Amino acid sequence: MILSLTNEYRRIRRLRHDDVPALMAWDNDPDLFELTGKKFSVDENYQDWWASLVRDRTRLVFGIVDDIGRLIGDVELLQILWRAREAEVRISIGDKKYWNRGYGTEALMEALLAAFRILSLERVYLRVRSDNGRAIHSYRKVGFRPVARLAATGRLLGCAELQLMEMTRGRYGLG
C-alpha cells in the first residue's frame, strides 16, 4: 500500500517508485543487514517489488527524509491485521551519516501517528536485536515497552536474542 500524507508529517512521506533503488542498495549493506536481517533477494526486480507493494493491503511503506526532503531511509507497517487492528513496524535509516541525529525517533513517531490516526490501529509492535542499543533507546523514547524476549528467527537466526516491544494507541495519547 502507498499512502499520501498531509503536510503535518515532515519526517516521513509517501514512498515513490524512484525511491526503490536506494532502498535496495541500503538493504544490501552488510552493516544494515546485520541489524535488520532484511535484504532484497538478488533476483528481485524493482518493478515487481513496487507492483507487489502497491497491491499489498497488509503492508505500508513510507520514505524518511531529511530537512531538505532527501530520502535517508524507510519505515514500514507490515503484517497489518485489520480486524485485530494491529501491525508490526520496521525502520531503517539507510544513510548512516544520519544515525544518532534524532531522525529515526521522529520518523517512528510520525509512522505511529499514521498507524493510529489514519489506519485506526490499536497496537503496533516491533522486534529488535537485544544488543541494538541505539534502536532500543530510540524505541523507548517513542514510548515502546518491552513485552517479551524471543529467539532470533529468519535471517537473524543464530544472532542475538530479540526483544518484542509494543506501543498502544492509548499510550500515544490518542485514547
**Cα radius of gyration rounded to whole Å, the chain:** 15
Binding residue for ligand COA, selected from 58, 78, 102, 117, defined by CB under 6 A:
102
Give residues with Cβ within 8 angstroms of 149, minimum separation 6: 130, 161, 162, 163, 164
Binding residue for ligand COA, selected from 134, 145, 149, 155, defined by CB under 6 A:
134
CB of 131 to ligand COA, least distance (A): 9
Q: Nearest CA to 78 among 145, 124, 15, 144?
A: 124
- Residue 93 binds ligand COA (CB under 6 A): yes
> What residue has cell string 485489520?
82
Cell (9 digits) for 141: 523514547
- Residue 103 binds ligand COA (CB under 6 A): yes
Binding residue for ligand COA, selected from 54, 58, 82, 99, defined by CB under 6 A:
99
Under the rule (CB under 6 A), what is the footprint of ligand COA?
Answer: 32, 35-36, 73, 91-93, 99-105, 128, 132-135, 137-138
